[in-house]
Amino acid sequence: SQQGEEDPQALSIQEGENATMNCSYKTSINNLQWYRQNSGRGLVHLILIRSNEREKHSGRLRVTLDTSKKSSSLLITASRAADTASYFCATALTGNQFYFGTGTSLTVIP
């Protein structure tokens, strides 16, 4: 399976702190994406990083990709209570099929 694996499975931090979660995958990819899921809702696309990119920023989000280690990290800076959610990485081998990991559950304590 192409499925990625997020680490840690759960993370609890204080508001204002930074949150880092990691994703490892098994085979070469075309791109990697991160999604957020609030409880009881669908997933929301956060950011995409292509295999030829090493780092990408979007607002308070910073994503890195290390294709030699087959891993990616998502950093959320200055976290807020509203960032409480589950975060998933999704990898695309080719085309338009994405494989999802099991997610990191982030709790930001006010």
Partner 1 sequence: DAGITQSPRHKVTETGTPVTLRCHQTENHRYMYWYRQDPGHGLRLIHYSYGVKDTDKGEVSDGYSVSRSKTEDFLLTLESATSSQTSVYFCATTGTGDGYTFGSGTRLTVV
Binding site for partner 1 (CB under 8 A): 1, 3, 33, 35, 40-45, 48, 88, 90, 92, 95-103
Q: In this complex, which beta carbon is closest to partner 1, that of residue 12 or of residue 102?
A: 102
The one-letter amino acid code at 71 reads S
Spatial CA neighbour of 65 closest among 30, 108, 93, 15: 30
Q: How far apart are CA 27 and CA 31, in angstroms?
A: 12
Q: In this complex, which beta carbon is closest to partner 1, that of residue 7 or of residue 15?
A: 7
User: What SS3 state is found at 83?
Assistant: helix
- The structure tokens 């294709």 sit at 67
Minimum gap (Å) between residue 110 Cβ and partner 1 = 26
Minimum gap (Å) between residue 97 Cβ and partner 1 = 7
Tokens of 76: 């959320």
Q: In this complex, which beta carbon is closest to partner 1, that of residue 33 or of residue 71?
A: 33
Q: How far apart are CA 33 and CA 11, in angstroms?
A: 20
Minimum gap (Å) between residue 24 Cβ and partner 1 = 14
Minimum gap (Å) between residue 33 Cβ and partner 1 = 6
